[in-house]
Amino acid sequence: MAYSEFLADRVRERLNGKGLVEEKKMMGGLIFMVNEKMCLGVDMDKQKNEDRLMVRVGKLPYEQLLNQKGSREMNFTGKPMRGFLFIEPEGFDSESDLDFWVERALEFNQMIP
C-alpha cells in the first residue's frame, strides 16, 4: 500500500472524537470510515509520485469545491466520480487547508443516513 503515514496521522488526529472511526486499506491507500460511511482517504498519485487526499463531499457542493486550491475530480477509470474529490498537496499541506477538507468530509458524512 502506497500512502504517507505522516498524512494518515494528520487525518487521524483530526478525526479523533468525531464518531466511530475505522481504517480500511483499499484502492491502494487507506480509507477512513466515520460512523460506518466512507469519509476520507489517503494514497499516492502514482503518475506524479506525490501524496493525495481523497475527500467525499457529496454532489451539492461538488462544483464549488472543485474550484478550491489543489482540488480535482476523482477519476479512476476514465469517468469522474461525482461527490468525491482528490486533493493534491498544495491543497492540504497547511494545517488550515487540511482542516478545511476534513470538515467538508465530516459535514457530508453527517448528512448520510
Q: Topology of 5-86 in CATH?
A: Aspartate Aminotransferase, domain 1 (3.90.1150)
Q: Which three cell numbers stand for residue 94?
A: 497547511
Supply the mean pLDDT for the chain: 93
Contact between 86 and 107 (Cβ < 8 Å)? no
Question: How big is the CA angle at 107 (ends 105 and 113), to the nearest 5 degrees?
Answer: 100
What residues are paired with 23 via a beta bridge? 32
Give all strands (DSSP E) within 1-113, no chain letters.
Answer: 21-26, 29-34, 37-45, 50-56, 71-75, 80-87
pLDDT band at 26 (very low <50, low <70, confident <90, very high): confident
The enclosing H or E element of 73 equals strand 71-75
pLDDT band at 1 (very low <50, low <70, confident <90, very high): low
Its pTM stands at: 0.93
Q: What is the chain's length?
A: 113
Q: What is the mean pLDDT of residues 27-41?
A: 94
| Bridging pattern class, strands 71-75 and 80-87 | antiparallel
**Domain spans in the chain, listed from the N-terminal domain onward:** 5-86
Provide the percentage of residues in the chain whose pLDDT is more than 90: 81
What Rg do the C-alpha atoms of the chain give, in angstroms? Answer: 13
Contact between 45 and 29 (Cβ < 8 Å)? no
Model confidence pLDDT, tens digit, residues 47-100: 899 999 999 999 878 889 999 999 999 987 788 888 999 999 999 999 999 999
